[in-house]
Structure formats: structure tokens, C-alpha cells
């Protein structure tokens, strides 16, 4: 997949205020300071697209980005066609230093979006590859399972530790999931700085877009 354009569209306080659900949509979420904005910018090849900040918790609304892309070699029938889809930047579920009231509002906003957004194809849950399994990440993933929301795992900041350490942490996380999950989702190991994992993520989104489009055609 080749990204033709990626532009910020709108920030919404509620899923009912989001843009018309007329194209495939992919949401990105993770704990505060997991590197979400950097990953989004890396995927879209635009380092100014999502605002990065030294202080976690800057994302407070449902942020939509309008993406135009050209399918890759995996779709001969649609090769060269421009596909429109939404990329969504969601607030972190670890939350920064905010009031209990604000935290509850964010939690409800995220839950309503994830459970009710009809064109949501997949949620990419970002996990910091530098750490051993965190309870908060596992709890959020289990919640997605209860809500029956499709998701994949994206391990971030793989350049910040040795490959051995990253592999150990990824394996430990997947092993922790196996205690409650029969089947594990696909996972990606990424580095925003080195653009590691970008092609695989785009290939996955490309394949999902094709499935959606083929479903509409049939």
C-alpha cells in the first residue's frame, strides 16, 4: 500500500459526532506515553500529522484522519485504485493526571465509540515493548474481548531495547494472554524512528480494505 495523502479531519467528543461511517476505519489506542502519535506519523509518513507531546494525555477526543491510499500487489484486481479510509487516534486508557470525573468521561467516550462505531474494522492496541506485561494492558484487551471488538497488538519502541529484550517482553505478553485467550490476535513489532513494522501494518490494513470493498461489491 502507498499512502497518497493523510490529513487531519475532525476531533469529536462523542461517537455520534464522528464523520459519516462511509469507509473502513482503524483506531489506535494505548496507555499514555506508549508512542501512539509517533507511530501514526510513521505509518502515514508525515511527522507533523498527529501531535506528539512530552507530557502524556494530550489526546482527549476522538481524532479522525482522512487517508487516501493505493492498494499494493496483494490486490491485483484493485491495483492502482485509490482507497479512502479513516485512521482514528483515541485517548490513552492509562490516562494522564486528570480528575476522576474527567477519567470517567474519557472511559465512557472510548467505550461508546468502540462498541457503536459501525464502520470500525480493527483496533490497534499499542503495547510498550520495553516492559514486561502490564496489568492495565491485559485488562483493556480482555475488555475488548468481552465487547467483541476486533483488535491486533502493536508493540512499540522496539529500537529502545535490545532485540533479545524486546522478544522476551513480546513473548511474555503473549504468554500472559494465553491464560485467558484461546486464539491470539496478530501482532506487529514496530519502531517509529526506524520505520520498523510499517510495511506489515500497511499490508494488513490494505488486506482489510479489500475485504470490506469485496463485501460491498458482492
Q: How far is CA 64 from the centre of its chain?
A: 12
Q: Is the pTM of this model over 0.85?
A: yes
Q: Which of 46, 147, 36 is nearest to 96 (CA)?
A: 36
- Interaxial angle between packed helices 198-217 and 36-44, expressed in degrees from 0 to 180 and rounded to the nearest 10: 70
Q: Could you give all domains of the chain from N- to C-terminal order, each with its CATH number?
A: 2-217 (3.40.50.300)
Taking 80 as the threshold, does the pLDDT of residue 73 lie above it? no
Query: Residue 11 CB: number of other CB atoms within 10 A?
Result: 14
Condensed to tens digits (0 to 9), the pLDDT of residues 167-211 reads 999 999 999 999 999 999 999 999 999 999 999 999 999 999 999
Cell readout for 112 is: 461508546
CA count, 13 A, side-chain hemisphere, 215: 10
Strand order in the sheet with 82-89: 2-12, 62-70, 82-89, 25-30, 120-128, 151-156, 187-189
Amino acid at each position: 500500500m502507498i499512502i497518497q495523502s493523510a490529513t487531519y479531519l475532525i476531533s469529536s467528543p462523542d461517537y455520534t459526532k464522528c464523520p459519516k461511517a462511509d469507509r473502513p476505519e482503524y483506531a489506535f489506542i494505548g496507555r499514555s506515553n506508549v508512542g501512539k502519535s509517533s507511530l501514526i506519523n510513521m505509518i502515514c509518513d508525515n511527522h507533523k500529522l498527529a501531535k506528539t507531546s512530552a507530557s502524556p494525555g494530550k489526546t482527549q477526543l476522538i481524532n479522525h484522519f482522512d487517508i487516501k491510499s493505493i492498494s499494493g500487489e496483494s490486490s491485483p484486481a484493485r491495483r492502482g485504485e485509490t482507497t479512502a479510509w479513516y485512521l482514528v487516534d483515541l485517548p490513552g486508557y492509562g490516562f494522564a493526571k486528570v480528575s476522576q470525573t474527567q477519567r470517567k468521561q474519557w472511559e465512557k467516550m472510548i467505550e461508546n465509540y468502540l462498541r457503536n462505531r459501525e464502520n470500525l474494522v480493527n483496533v490497534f492496541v499499542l503495547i510498550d515493548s520495553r516492559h514486561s506485561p502490564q496489568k492495565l494492558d491485559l485488562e483493556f484487551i480482555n475488555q475488548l474481548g468481552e465487547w467483541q471488538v476486533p483488535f491486533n497488538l502493536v508493540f512499540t519502541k522496539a529500537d529502545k531495547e535490545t532485540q533479545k529484550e524486546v522478544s522476551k517482553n513480546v513473548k511474555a505478553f503473549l504468554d500472559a494472554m494465553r491464560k485467558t485467550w484461546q486464539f491470539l490476535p496478530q501482532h506487529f513489532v514496530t519502531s517509529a524512528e526506524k520505520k520498523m513494522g510499517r510495511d506489515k501494518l500497511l499490508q494488513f490494513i490494505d488486506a482489510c480494505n479489500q475485504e470490506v470493498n469485496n463485501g460491498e461489491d458482492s
